Amino acid sequence: MKAVIALTCGCSSEEGRYYVREAYVRCIEAAGGIPLLVPPLEDQGDIQHLLRSVDGVLLPGGVDIDPIHFGEEPMEGLGTIEPHWDRLELAAARFALASDLPILGICRGVQVLNVAAGGSLYQDIASQTKGKCLQHSQKAPRWYATHSIKIEPNSLLGEMLGTKTARVNSHHHQAVKIPAPGFKVTAASADGIIECIESEKHRFACGVQWHPELMVEHYPEQMEIFR
């Protein structure tokens, strides 16, 4: 029987729409799952009710996270935020962690996962690291791997990719700053930016900072993250 995977939808308050990029849907399908798109709902109980019927959760990429959720005031470098999107994904992440429901976070998703579990973020890595970081908003095709990461041995990521190093694409300006309690860093780029976190106490609670869904056609090993 195929696993049903809850795929959270982004939203645009100005345009009045919910959305998700096709690549996430196709990767879930290619990995043998059935994607179930979950929009922001007013009743948190409805979100929990829905998630009780699925086998896993995928938090996709998207806009910035409101720093109120990790106890900070907004800095000058903060980008667009969507309160309803934050509310949906933080609720979904917290339910998944509390229920030990497998959860994968991608780009914004790893950041949501970290905040939901009690960690913090860089609101804007370039300004907060005084420009000493790599180019994390690449000016190359979106699928192209532009920088390297070092992967910790005996990690889920190492097991999935079968390597101690990899090259990844990069489309972000926020990043995990302090990992949440119970999470460990299992990959980082050469400038020290955290590229992967994994829970030490859940079956599968993992987040990656890059976009494997955009890479799979050219880097087939990235599909193992979805499998």
Active site residues: 107, 211, 213
Q: Where are the alpha helices (DSSP H) in 11-168?
A: 22-30, 44-51, 83-99, 108-116, 125-128, 156-161
Strand-pair partners of 93: none
SS3 for 205? strand
- Number of helices (H) and strands (E), helices first, in the chain? 8, 13
The residues with which 188 forms a beta bridge, in sequence order, are 150, 194
Tell me if 133 sits within 8 A of 193, measured CB to CB.
Answer: yes
Dihedral sign, CA of 52, 54, 57, 62?
A: negative
